[in-house]
Amino acid sequence: MAEIATAQVRELLGIPPEKLPRHIAVIMDGNGRWAQQRGLPRIEGHRRGAESVRRVTEQCARLGIEQLTLYCLSSENWKRPREELDFLLQMLQQYMIEQRQRVMEHNIRVRVIGRREGLPEQVLRETDQTVAMSRNNTGLVLCLAINYGGRAELVDAVRGIAQQIKLGKLEPEEINEQTISDNLYTAGMPDPDLLIRTAGELRVSNFLLWQISYAEIWVTDLCWPDFDEAQLHAAIRAYAARQRRFGGLSTI
C-alpha cells in the first residue's frame, strides 16, 4: 500500500513523498453561497459539499496522507436557521451510515472532536458506531470536527488541567505546552501542517486555534462543492514549495 501511495504522489503531484503534509485541516466554506449562486436552496449546497468530502477523503487516503481534519459543524453554527441545522444533522447521520463501507475499504480510521452536548442522540449513536467500527484501521485518520469551537476546546483543556491540580496529580509549575496539548480534544494527533480554506475567506473561524500555530495556509476562491482532487493537488504542491522555518531563519 505504501508503494502505491508513493507512486501516486510522484505521478499525480510531481513531488517526492517526503514533501507531503502529514496532516491537512480544511475549513469547508461556501456551501450556501454555491447554492444561492445557482438559484438553489442552501441545503442543496450542503448535499453537494458532502460529495466533495468523499472525493477529498478518498484522495488523501490514496496519497498516504496521515490525517485529514474537516470542520463539519462549528459551535457557532447553532445560530443558523433551524431547518438548515436539522438538515445538516440528518445529513451527518446519513453520512456516518452510508460511508461505512467506503471507510473500511479505504482503511480509514474515523475520529470525532468537539462537544457532544446538544447533538441529537441518533447522531451520536451512528457516529460512535462508525468510530468504533474503524478503530483498528491503519490508514488515513479522518477527524471530523462536530459541534467544535477552538475557544471551547481551550476552556475544556483548562478545566481538565485545573481538575488534575485539584486532585494533586499536577503542580502548576509543571504545566507546559505539552500539558496543554495533552488535554485538548486532539491529544495524540499531529498538529496540522496545511490548513485549506475555501470560498476566499481569510480567517481561521475559531478552528484548531492552538494546533495551527505553524500551519501553512492555502486559500481558494472556489466554494467547497467545487473543491475536487485537482484543487487538493494544487494545495499540496503549494505546501511542498514553501520553506517551513517554525520561527527560525532560512537556511538558504
| Residues catalogued as catalytic | 29, 77
Task: Compute the Cα dihedral for 126, 80, 195, 114 and give only its sign.
Answer: negative
CA distance linking residue 129 with residue 131, whole number of Å: 5
CB 52, CB 225: distance < 8 Å: yes
Phi-psi region of 158 (alpha: psi -120 to 50; beta: other; left: phi over 0): alpha
Instruction: Classify burial at 39, counting beta carbons within 10 Å of its beta carbon; exposed 0-12, middle 13-18, buried 19 or more.
Output: exposed
The answer to whether the beta carbons of residues 91 and 47 sit under 8 Å apart is yes
Provide, for the chain, the percentages of residues in helix, strand and coil under a 3-state DSSP scheme, each rounded to the nearest 5. 50, 15, 35
